[in-house]
Amino acid sequence: MGINDPSDAEANLQIAPTDAGMVRLFIESGSVEIPMDFDPEDALEIAEEIRAAAAIAASR
C-alpha cells in the first residue's frame, strides 16, 4: 500500500505530551497499539509537514 492508495482502515489517533518531556502519537487499530515518542523539535517538524500537506490537499 502506498501513500495514494485508498484505504478503508480505521484507527484512533491520540496526541499528547508525556511526563518525560516527549510528544507521543498513539495509534490504535483493532488489537494493534503503536506508541511513537518524539522530542519536541521533531514533533514541531512533523506538525509543519502535516500543515503543508493539508494546505496542498485543500487547494486541489
Q: Where are the domains of the chain?
A: 12-59
CA distance 60 to 54: 10
**Domain 12-59 CATH assignment equals 2.60.40:** no
The greatest distance separating any two alpha carbons of the chain, rounded to the nearest whole angstrom, comes to 40
What does pTM read for this prediction?
Answer: 0.84
Give the model's pLDDT for residue 1. 81
Give the model's pLDDT for residue 18. 98
| Per-residue pLDDT of the chain in tens (60 residues, 90 and over written 9) | 899 999 999 999 999 999 999 999 999 999 999 999 999 999 999 999 999 999 999 999
Give the model's pLDDT for residue 49. 98
